[in-house]
A and B are shown apart, each in its own frame.
Chain A
Amino acid sequence: MRQVLIILAAVLALVAGPAQAAKEWGIDGEEVAQFEAKAVDVLCELTGDCPKNCGAGKRQMGLLSDDGTLRLAIKSNTLFAGAVLDLLAWCGKRVEVDGLLIKADPMTFYMVQRLRAPGAKKWTNARAFSKAWATENKQKNASRWFRKDPAIKALIKEFGPVGIPGATIPKD
């Protein structure tokens, strides 16, 4: 009975382990990367132009490692959304991130999938944009937010879905 329980626990660990780690996307040059770094306003880090609170959501954010390496964080777990709001909560502080480091041909950057305080057990899913969008737009959730966002709808109405007013759109 004891052996059965041990085997069952091992199987559960194998199944649960990968499910908790960062999700791979199959992108060329990607690697799962979990590390500690300081969350920084990238423009501040590069130029010394540093508004309060990392620009309060209006500045691209990055992860500055102890060895001085700066990783631009460009994507979160929300569809079509960046990681600015996820990292903003950690502005100037150390954070542990889990996600994908993508070393593509033209550039290297990071996709944040989850975050936590260094040493903490519990991870937070990198979906701060979804929460903020739903709150701001008085929606229950941010499902298909990109189809409902007022600013996007206004732009598509003005320029059309291909960015050229009056353009003929071929069938899909």
Chain B
Amino acid sequence: MRQVLKQLALVLAITAWVAFAWSGAAWAKTSGATTSGATPGAKRVTVTGEIVDTWCNVTMIMFAEGSAHYQCAVWCAVGGIPVSIKDEDENVYVVLRVEGEQSNVAAPSIVRIQAHQVTVEGDLIERDGVKYLLVTQVADDQGIVNLSHQDTAIQPFGK
């Protein structure tokens, strides 16, 4: 009888340990889901920064920020060059989707807000040196706040 009770206690202990371990794993998975984005492998983020023309801005082939570069940013966006958001830490987030829109080439919704200061929420996917952003919501659009045309000629070619 004593032997049976010992075995029963052992089985209960193992069962309890397995149940605890399983619940812990399940909790960790659920917890991870709350910090991940809706897109598999993505991380939910909030980004504040200026809408920029990725080519001109990152290559620095010209002054490419704010109102002085607005016209060129429109040219490049209409020309199909990816649009990005550049934050105050100089991170560049390539926008691959805005609020469910299927097109990310010359999409009217983003062409119209070149050089604007925005705050967006979205899913961040980092791969091979690029931060890709799938914007789920444009939470704030302050318009153009970087009035660089007051100090710099329109870039490039002037008006």
- Residues on A lying within 8 angstroms of B by beta carbon are 25, 27-28, 42-43, 46-48, 51, 55, 57-60, 69-72, 74-75, 78, 80-85, 102-109, 129, 145-146, 149, 151-152, 155-156, 159, 161-164, 167, 169-170, 172
| Residues in A neighbouring B150, C-beta threshold 8 A | 170
- B81 and A42 contact, CB distance less than 8 A: no
Q: State the CA gap A108–B130 with chains docked (Å).
A: 6
User: Known contacts A55-B102, A172-B154, A172-B159: does B79 contact A155 (CB below 8 Å)?
Assistant: no
Q: Which 7 A-B pairs have the closest CB atoms?
A: A108-B129, A82-B80, A81-B79, A163-B70, A58-B103, A162-B67, A146-B75
B104 touches A163 (CB 8 A): no
In the complex with contacts A43-B96, A162-B71, A163-B70, A151-B128 CB distance below 8 A: no
Interface residues of B in 45-63 (CB under 8 A from A): 54-55, 58-61
23 cross-chain CB contacts under 8 A: A27-B60, A43-B97, A46-B41, A46-B132, A48-B40, A59-B105, A70-B128, A74-B54, A78-B79, A82-B82, A104-B58, A146-B75, A152-B74, A152-B78, A155-B74, A156-B71, A159-B70, A161-B154, A163-B71, A163-B114, A163-B115, A169-B154, A172-B153
Residue from the list A69, A78, A167 in contact with B67, Cβ < 8 A = A167
- Check A161–B71 contact: CB distance below 8 A: yes
How long is the Cα–Cα vector from A161 to B157 in the complex, in angstroms? Answer: 12
Interface residues on B, range: 35 or more
- The answer on a CB contact under 8 Å between B76 and A80 is yes
Could you tell me if A109 and B97 are in contact, using CB atoms closer than 8 angstroms?
Answer: no
| B107: nearest chain-A partner, CB-CB | A58
**Complex Cα gap A149–B60 (Å):** 25
Contacts of B40 in A (CB 8 A): 47-48
Cα A62 to Cα B157 in complex, Å, equals 30
Interface-facing stretch out of B12-20, B25-33, B86-94:
B86-94
